[in-house]
Amino acid sequence: MCNQTVGLVQREIESHGISTVGISLVREISVKVKPSRTYFLKYPYGHALGEPFNKKQQTAIFEDCLNLIKSAQKPGIIVDSPYHWSIHKIN
């Protein structure tokens, strides 16, 4: 499913009263689609929850997303992850 479709599905789910948080690897698409809440990571495709085998980092990202449901003050918010990919350099 493409990133735009996921954002549109997220908005539809929200319209039925269910809170959602999207994880984005491409900020430009999130800005364009405007899902309710987005957690942006500058990570390579396929690694939206963190580096392979880095359970501590993956858990922290997941918890950040859950906390975003409580802390988001307005719809369409995009929060930048504080984590950095350390396995190899991202272009």
Domain-located, residue 16: no
Domain-located, residue 73: yes
Q: Convert the pLDDT of each residue in 7-59 to its tens digit.
A: 788 888 988 989 899 999 999 988 888 888 999 999 999 899 999 999 999 99
3 — pLDDT class (breaks 50, 70, 90): low
Domain-located, residue 71: yes
Q: SS3 sequence, 26-85?
A: CHHHHHHHCCCEEEECCCCCCCCCCCCCCHHHHHHHHHHHHHHHHHCCCCCEEEECCCCC
Q: What is the mean pLDDT of residues 61-82?
A: 90
Backbone angles phi, psi at 53, to 5 degrees: 70, 10
pLDDT at 88: 60
Q: Which residue has the higher pLDDT, 66 or 2?
A: 66
Structural domain for 71, as ranges = 32-45+63-83
Largest CA distance in the chain: 41
Q: What angle do CA 45, 50, 10 make, to 5 degrees?
A: 65
pLDDT at 61: 96
